[in-house]
Amino acid sequence: METFYLERHDIEITIFLTLFSSAFGIFYYLVLKALFKLPLKPAWPLFVVPPVVVILTALYHPGYVPFACLVNFPILLLLMIIGGIYKSIRKKRVAIASFAFFLRPTYTNAYLALGHWALVRVWRFNGYH
């Protein structure tokens, strides 16, 4: 933990890291909306929570403000990895369902099979074999 500790702490660093961590809200929103397809009606908590964590860290122990901001990187990375896996599974499930739609026995498929059988019979009996 001492790696992330900052001995000299300025208010400018806290302000910059607060603004920087608020930008993570945009990425959280995009990942949750695009990959997970979550209906985020009140999206403001995604933009408020990271800066509040940085400000509370600055009030409680100012030396760990960079750590409070950098914690957003692994959280966002995990969300992206899990979201990619989730989206690929969901796409595969849709692909399997659409493939199963064409394999189900229907009258249309039966008519196509009967038509194909008749076409092959006509082709064989007319000497094309």
- Place 105 in a pLDDT band, splitting at 50, 70 and 90: low
| DSSP per residue, 31-78 | HHHHTS----SS-HHHHHHHHHHHHHHHHH-GGGHHHHHHTHHHHHHH
What are the structure tokens assigned to 78, written together? 């995990």
Residue ranges per structural domain of the chain: 2-125
Q: Has residue 29 got a pLDDT over 70? A: yes
Task: Write out the two tokens for 8.
Answer: 């000299």
Among 69, 74, 70, 42, smallest CA distance to 53 is for 69
pLDDT confidence of residue 104: 59
